[in-house]
Structure 1
Amino acid sequence: MVLAAGSAPGGTTVRATRRFDEWRDAIRHDFVALDMAPDRGIGAFSGSVRSATVAHLQVSEVRSVTQVCRRTPSLAGADSHEFLQIGMVSRGTGVLEQDGRRTLLSQGDFAVYETGRPFAWNLGGAWELDVFTWPRAAVGLSTAESAAVTAVRFAGRQGFSGIVGGMLRGLLTAPPRLSPAGAVRVADEVGELVATLAIEQSDPWAVADAPQLALLHRIHDHIDAHLADPELGPVSIARAHFVSTRQLHRLFAGTGETVTRRIRRLRLERCRRELSDRRRATDSVTDISRRWGFPDLPGFSRAFRSTYGLSPTDYRARSGS
């Protein structure tokens, strides 16, 4: 894939072909492996992909003719890298399926999907799909929050989704010329807007009763406020909220994310942001990791590489800070 976590802003790459086998390879190169089938009745085939990067956000314009593209369970399971993507229809129509939902998108509409789970696109006519790709770990959505909003239609020209859609279109039309650190901030902030839109659209814990939901929100706030404390964990959180650890784990079971996994994800994200921040350029990797609750540098480095695909030092170098 063109996108690499922590990559510096890159120039535009263009791939165009009239052969379907080359088209399948181009899609695999710029995105992920898909099981693809063209419409045999369309005659001549053509397809093109134009991609650029804004730090760890890849923006792409994809054009082709009627076809079906599937991310099968075997393809998703065989890939060690996971991405969160937005597909925005600029021409033609698209039907996206994921997580038991199916939505029809027409011009200006967009939807969220994930490459770590099966999905399918059925694209009709002479279509154009604008695709925005983040490493999954870089977007602050829990598994439950994501699964509640994939394959849901967002109107790209009205309301809050229109604001997000306009920003996405602007990034594709004219990727900004930014410093490496500035590009990281833009990619993060746009990702946060997408996460906010997703959370506002659908409440993944709607099945919980009001007291449990309120407790879960208080615990989330507590975790955010105490990430720097290396002693933060299920025992201390349960004690602070007068519940047992068993009750705490049961409460998180419905979110698709364990307590420990949420703490680790948020700590890594805080570290990643500081590593790309010029204002923290004089802080060592050790200082940053300890500030966010990682007392063991080798353990932090392993966790960071596993999540973002680069060591903390290499990520900082690519971010230009």
Structure 2
Amino acid sequence: MSTLDETSGQQGDVAGPVLRVSTDSIPALDRFDWWVEMVGNEVMPVTVRSAHAAVFQGRADAVELPDSQVAFFSFSPMTAHRSPVQIRRSDPEAYYLVLVHGSPIRLEQERGVACLGPGDMALFSTSHPLACDFLDHGRQVRLTLMRLARSLLPLASGKADRLLAEPLSTRAGSARLLGPYLAGLPEAAHASGPRERARLGHIGVDLAAAVLAGRLGAQDSLPAESRKSVLLSRINAFIDQHLGDPELRPAAIAAHHHISVRTLHLLFRDEPDTVATTIRRRRLERCHADLTDPHQRHRTITEIAARWGFHRPADFSRLFRGAYGVPPNEVRALALDANAVRGLLNPSAPLRGLAGQPTVRSMG
């Protein structure tokens, strides 16, 4: 994000691959103008009105990926319009998926009109006139924007335009995976190197393409790699949801997804771990998180192990020690001691585990 990079010394905070900018460090009288300029440079030029211009507040957290960008916005209510003149002057030729978290949004583009509440999603384009009303319900607007370059979206040219400003279900198919992907992306990006972040970006584009293709009834038009990526995402989500099931094995996973066990193993051939290793690693990670969480101190180590699918204490202890270098009881003792010391130093701190009249501004 070019403007965000330029302003990061004054308004932004660079934290690895996730960049945060905020109006907090901008003089109050300049905040609205600064926000409009930032949106014009980083999303697209628009004309903005806000009844809150004099007391405007806004924040953006952005994750830049090779083929996409995901940004989390929180700002005072306003309206935004994009005109044909602004499109002719500057068009990044991109689609945006918007996922709403806070106050409702009314979105108009082409022949579509979408009234979106928390949890709803829709698509808009930088290449068509747009009207967007971020409704004032007495609280900040909160949303996620995922930018997708038109040239990289693996759908026939112009097909996605049929979905502009049309509500997209987030409760079925690939859309059920896209929401958690977007929510977990900042943490995942922080924990990943450049190569893994590139992979995360490809997964996001494939999931978004699958959501749009599913709505268009064009799943078969997606490239084989995109379909493979989406299937892997579904399998990984299934594994995460069933880690506590002792019957979670490759055969059960394959049967649930209507594929053979051989196909399942082939899907994981290029992954860092095999299917069985993936299940074991994620179970151990959940156990480690519980052992270092003071809110789980009422559970015994055996109970925590069983909660995540380990029903033989000796096997769990051996696997845990192999993964972390120390037995589970030592990890728990160290975590409890650390939290006790933290509480003594700062008793008020929570214990944690280790782990008016509208103002108009126009851009363009």
TM-score normalised over the length of structure 2: 0.50
Query: Which secondary structure state, in structure 2, belongs to the residue aligned with residue 175 of structure 1?
Result: helix
Which residue is 2:124 aligned to?
113
Query: Which secondary structure state, in structure 2, belongs to the residue aligned with residue 33 of structure 1?
Result: coil
Deviation per CA, 1:163-196: give whole Å up to 9, x if none.
Answer: 2222122214653533333322321222122112
Aligned equivalents of 2:37 and 2:3: distance in 1? 16
Query: Which secondary structure state, in structure 1, belongs to the residue aligned with residue 101 of structure 2?
Result: strand
In the alignment, is the contact (CA less than 8 A) between 1:95 and 1:123 conserved in 2? yes
Name structure 2 gaps, 5 residues minimum: 5-15, 225-364
| 1:123 to 1:174, Cα distance in 2 relative to 1, 3 A | farther
Which residue is 1:14 aligned to?
21
Q: Where do residues 276-315 of structure 1 align in structure 2 (5 Å cutoff)?
A: none
Does 1:84 find its partner at 2:95?
yes
In the alignment, is the contact (CA less than 8 A) between 2:98 and 2:123 conserved in 1? yes
Does 1:150 find its partner at 2:164?
yes
Does 1:140 find its partner at 2:149?
no
After TM superposition, give the deviation of residue 159 of structure 1 in Å: 4.6
The one-letter code sitting in structure 2 at the alignment partner of 1:66 is P
The one-letter code sitting in structure 2 at the alignment partner of 1:49 is A
| 1:13 to 1:29, Cα distance in 2 relative to 1, 3 A | farther
Aligned equivalents of 1:108 and 1:11: distance in 2? 23
Aligned equivalents of 1:115 and 1:36: distance in 2? 15
Deviation per CA, 1:77-125: give whole Å up to 9, x if none.
Answer: 2225222211111111111111210101111111111112222221013
Q: Where do residues 200-211 of structure 1 align in structure 2 (5 Å cutoff)?
A: 200-203=214-217
Match of 2:202 among 164, 175, 188: 188
Match of 1:51 among 49, 62, 70: 62
Aligned equivalents of 1:135 and 1:177: distance in 2? 25
In the alignment, is the contact (CA less than 8 A) between 1:148 and 1:203 conserved in 2? no
Does 1:23 find its partner at 2:39?
no
In the alignment, is the contact (CA less than 8 A) between 1:46 and 1:64 conserved in 2? yes
| 1:145 to 1:14, Cα distance in 2 relative to 1, 3 A | same
Which residue is 1:178 aligned to?
192
Which residue is 2:115 aligned to?
104
Aligned equivalents of 2:74 and 2:18: distance in 1? 19
Q: Where do residues 156-171 of structure 1 align in structure 2 (5 Å cutoff)?
A: 156-171=170-185
Query: Which secondary structure state, in structure 2, belongs to the residue aligned with residue 148 of structure 1?
Result: helix
In the alignment, is the contact (CA less than 8 A) between 2:93 and 2:150 conserved in 1? yes
Please say which structure displays the higher CA radius of gyration: 2
Aligned equivalents of 1:96 and 1:80: distance in 2? 19
Aligned equivalents of 2:91 and 2:113: distance in 1? 26
Aligned equivalents of 1:102 and 1:174: distance in 2? 34
Which residue is 1:198 aligned to?
212
Aligned equivalents of 1:190 and 1:52: distance in 2? 12
After TM superposition, give the deviation of residue 158 of structure 1 in Å: 4.9
Which residue is 1:36 aligned to?
48
| 1:75 to 1:110, Cα distance in 2 relative to 1, 3 A | same
Which residue is 2:77 aligned to?
66
Percent identity of equivalent pairs:
19
Aligned equivalents of 1:3 and 1:178: distance in 2? 24
Query: Which secondary structure state, in structure 2, belongs to the residue aligned with residue 152 of structure 1?
Result: coil
Query: Which secondary structure state, in structure 1, belongs to the residue aligned with residue 167 of structure 2?
Result: coil
| 1:84 to 1:108, Cα distance in 2 relative to 1, 3 A | same
Aligned equivalents of 2:171 and 2:213: distance in 1? 19
Query: Which secondary structure state, in structure 2, belongs to the residue aligned with residue 132 of structure 1?
Result: strand
Aligned equivalents of 2:154 and 2:108: distance in 1? 22
| 1:134 to 1:176, Cα distance in 2 relative to 1, 3 A | farther
Name structure 1 gaps, 5 residues minimum: 205-216, 225-321
TM-score normalised over the length of structure 1: 0.56
Aligned equivalents of 1:52 and 1:88: distance in 2? 15
